[in-house]
Structures are given as C-alpha cells and as structure tokens.
Structure 1
Amino acid sequence: MNTHHTPADGWDCHVHVFDPTHPAQAGHYQPVLRDLPEIEHTATALGMGHLVLVQPSVYGTDNGLILRALAREPGRHRGVAVVDTAVTDAELDTMHRLGVRGVRFNLVSPVGNGPEAFRALAPRLKARGWHVQWYARADQLAAIADLHEGSGLTAVIDHLAGLHAGISAADPAWAFLERLAAQGAWVKLSGWYRLQASTPYEVLHGHIGRVATLMGEHLVWGSDWPHTAFEHDALPPYDSLWQPVVQALGEARAATVRAAGALLYA
C-alpha cells in the first residue's frame, strides 16, 4: 500500500476490477485478471488519480472484490455496489466506510435490480447520502424519472444515458433527460462503443454536446475499463475514450468534467 503520494486530481468514474478466482455467476462472460494496480497505472498516466469501482453484473451482489480493492488505500477511490433488499444496515455501513457511495441498478442485464428494489432500498440509501446509478436504455429514462420524483435520491445515468448514435434530435428521451436534469441527476460520459459508435466516435459529438447543455456541471467521465465488449487482448487505448469529451466540449469544459467526481463521490 502506497500512502506517501498525492494522487492526480482527475477522476475516472466508471471502471471494473476482475479476478478469475472470485466466484462469478453462471451464464456470464468469464473474466480474466484485471486488478486495481493495473487500472491505477493506466489511469494515472492520463492524470486520473481517483477511480470509481463499479460492481460488474458477473459478480451479482457479492461485492467482496471491489471492497477489498477500496481497502487497499482508504479514501483514494470510491465504489458503487450492487445489493438486494436483504442487505443489512451493518453491511451498508461497512461499505460506506470503505468508500461506496452508490448502488447500481441494471435495467439492461436480466440480473439487474428493478423498481421494487428501488422503492424498498430508497430510505436506507438516502439516509447515507448515496445515489442510484442506472444502466438503462434511452427509452427507460421516463421510468427512471418517475421513480426518482420525490425520492430524495440522485440518479446517475451510465453511458451517455443510453443516447446512442441512432437517437434522433426529436426523440422523446431528450425531454425525459431534461426532466431528470431538473431533479439533479448526473450523466456519465462513457461507453461510447456501447452506443452504435466506433472509434474515434465523432458521430456522438453532437449528443455529447447536447447532454452537456442539459446537465450543466452534473457530468462525469468514465472509461468503462476493462471494456468487456472487447476481447481481453484487444482493448481500446485508454486515452481514446477520453478524447471524445475534449473534442466535443473543448479543453476548458472537459477539465471540469475531469474533476467533477470529487463532488459527486464526496
């Protein structure tokens, strides 16, 4: 454990860590070793000294891997867990001490939590100041806005809120994202290759700019490392996932996105 340095101040707000020896759920991809030191080394080279470790669906509600990773250097990184309604208050408190600040709901994978779990967990998440992170399609933004209305919980929407390259300027999803923005939601600028786009992702620049206009300062960036949509030996260059933010928003605005994790994950 290295406690004798000050990490760079940039935030990569969406990474995963994997260990093939950790029990994985059947029917998913088989993860290879992608551990915290590897992504720390990769991210630091781009000035991203803080990471948000997001529980991948392959491990279900067994958050042990990300909790052990967070414990390596307390206070440096943050986590987003996956829990079910049976989780105890003691377990949530332990997660909080280790740096967890949100719970992920996955409406894309069949193993994800749904609205019933949201309603059941909401009071306990709110009491800890946690947010709810959604992996969802653009046509599910309306349902998310309905759930969050009056809940007191902040929504964080993964992967450009699902606004893929085929979404038109008149699509109703934009109005629902505007409603979410009015509720205080955040969007992660991430997952370009999940959005009907390929490198260097210029087709998404207009969407990125429009999302930035709607969300104001409530934007963070995530690399989605180690990119489970790719073969493990053919990962996209790390900086290629950051460049669309700079190109779509300009250096000055991109700098605010780079640092915004310090606010969202305080």
Structure 2
Amino acid sequence: MTEPAPAGWDCHVHVFAASAPVRDGHYRPVDRPLAQIEATAEAHGVRHLVLVQPSVYGSDNTLLLDALATEPGRHRGVVVVDDTVTDAELDAMHAAGVRGVRLNRVSPVGDGADPARRFDALAPRLRPRGWHLQWYTDAAQLPAIAALHRDSGVTCVLDHLAGFGLAVPDDHPAWRAAEALAAGGAWLKLSGWYRLGAQAPYAGLVPRIRRLAAWFGERMVWGSDWPHTTFAPEAMPPYAQGWQPVVDALGPGAARALRGRPPSIYR
C-alpha cells in the first residue's frame, strides 16, 4: 500500500535564481530553486510551502509566480507590490496562489515608505480578496502596526516572532501591542530564530515563544526561512534545526498539530 504524501506546512521559504537582477546594497543570492526546497521539506514530512518574496527582488515577483505555476494549487505565495500594481495583476496573482502582501521594514532594501501611507493604499485592495498584510519589522514598531490594523478588516501576519529578539526587555511596550494584535485576530510566524540575537539551538527564545503562543494560540504558523540568507551558501543550517525550538516550546504533540494544520490565511 502506498504511503500518503506528507501534508505539513512550511510557511516561510524563498526561491532564488543567481541570474535574476537584484537590488544593490544587500546580499547576492545563489541558485535556490523550488525543487530543492520541496525535496528537503518532503524529507521532513512537509509538502506545502509558502513562498515569500525576498527583499532583493523588490516588487518583481516573477520567480515566485513561476514557482507557484509549476504545480498549481500546491503552494501559496506572499508578494511585494508597489503603488502601480493593477487590479488585474492582483487577481492573476490570487489565481496563482498568492494570499498576502509583505512589507519589509528591516532589510536594507526593504520598504522605506511611510507605513501608514502604504497601509492606507493597500488595505482597500487586500480586504475584498481576503489577503493579509505580512510585516517584517522590529518589535518597537508593533504599537504603530496595532493602531493601523485596529478595526481595519485586514488580517495582520507578523514575521519572525514579531521581532521579539533576546534584546527586547520583558516589559517593553511591544509586548502589550502584540497581545492587542493577537486579540484582534493577528497571526504569528515562528521563524527566523537566527535573526533574533540567538544562537542554535535557540533555547533562549523558548520562553518568548511560549509567552506569545499563549496569546496567538492556533493563529501561529511555522517557517524554516530556507535558504537562510544570513548564512553563507555553503554553511546553511540543517532544516530540522529551525523546527526544534517549536517542539521545545510547545511540546511534540502541539508542534505536530501546528505544522500539520492547513492555515486559514492561505486558503
């Protein structure tokens, strides 16, 4: 009898082509095609991926959309768009599997525009499509993000543990903002541990994961952040290393349930 295909979700990966033009002032990617991450993920019981547009490609989502088209319906995407994107382009992206827009407030070539202006421009276009807005931000910006999303009707997704690195004090106002966002229906990505001032096996982040998990509950997803662009191409960490902190924080059963549950934001 044939074993069923693995059905788990890795909700934060990137695909790269070394030949594609990139924005100056940031890293230079090597080839990291979709087939490579699919093979790696399937070996760990993960079949579905969420492809996130990396900052080096700006709003040129060609690689991401081409990757989604290789097996329509299997994966999902989160894109970067500029103010000139048309409704027809957004509708075509939705048909391809895109379910959100990313605002990168951290990377050197991220979105430097006023976040309130960008939010006001994007919100009326995201709401009717059921798309979310995914923020890559440091924790200090969470109070402003919470104010933008309050009563907006746009789902908020917070990248990389919402920026709660080891340097963020336990009494920082960002914690209250995160609790408010969670109460308003926001989602949290358990990912990017090495971006948070921690070293493998990331034990120092476990209490922070647990604190946030108490608020976000089932509105959490895990992402490997493959191919780990803060590491040299020849020194990528093992895929399972990014999963272990979730197991340590939530316990094996709850962690398995989280990774196996199809997230509603990617329907």
Q: What interval of TM-score do these two structures reach, taking the shorter chain for normalisation?
A: over 0.9
How far apart in 1 are the matches of 2:24 and 2:170?
A: 39
Shift of 1:168: 2.6
Shift of 1:260: 3.6
Does the 8 Å CA contact 2:104/2:110 hold for their aligned counterparts? yes
Counterpart among 77, 93, 96 of residue 95 in structure 1 = 93
Secondary structure, counterpart of 1:42 in structure 2: helix
- Matched positions, count: 262
Show the counterpart of 2:133: 132
Answering whether residue 70 of structure 2 is matched by residue 63 of structure 1, we say no
Answering whether residue 153 of structure 2 is matched by residue 152 of structure 1, we say yes
Show the counterpart of 1:209: 210
Show the counterpart of 2:235: 234
Counterpart among 29, 33, 44 of residue 31 in structure 1 = 29
Cα deviations by residue, 1:146-198 (Å, 9 ceiling, x for unpaired): 11112100000000010011223222111100000011000000000001100
Does the 8 Å CA contact 1:70/1:77 hold for their aligned counterparts? yes
Show the counterpart of 1:199: 200
- Structure 2 gaps, min length 5: none
How far apart in 1 are the matches of 2:7 and 2:179?
A: 29
Does the 8 Å CA contact 1:61/1:82 hold for their aligned counterparts? yes
For 2:145, the aligned partner's letter is I
Show the counterpart of 1:246: 247
Show the counterpart of 1:111: 110
Secondary structure, counterpart of 2:172 in structure 1: coil
Does the 8 Å CA contact 2:221/2:263 hold for their aligned counterparts? no
Secondary structure, counterpart of 2:194 in structure 1: helix
How far apart in 2 are the matches of 1:180 and 1:123?
A: 20
Q: Percent identity?
A: 58
* Cα RMSD for the two superposed structures: 1.3
Shift of 1:40: 0.2
Question: Would you identify which runs of 4 or more consecutive aligned residues in structure 1 move more than 3 Å?
Answer: none
Shift of 1:261: 4.2
How far apart in 2 are the matches of 1:187 and 1:102?
A: 14
User: TM-score when scaled to structure 1?
Assistant: 0.96
- Structure 1 gaps, min length 5: none
For 2:257, the aligned partner's letter is T
Cα deviations by residue, 1:201-259 (Å, 9 ceiling, x for unpaired): 00011001111101111100000000010000000000010011001110121122202
Does the 8 Å CA contact 2:132/2:157 hold for their aligned counterparts? yes
For 1:111, the aligned partner's letter is G
For 1:66, the aligned partner's letter is L
How far apart in 2 are the matches of 1:6 and 1:126?
A: 36
How far apart in 1 are the matches of 2:130 and 2:93?
A: 13
Between 1:252-261 and 1:226-235, the stretch displaced more is 252-261
Shift of 1:56: 0.3
CA gap of 1:6–1:57, structure 2 versus 1, over 3 A, is: farther
Shift of 1:6: 6.3
Show the counterpart of 1:189: 190
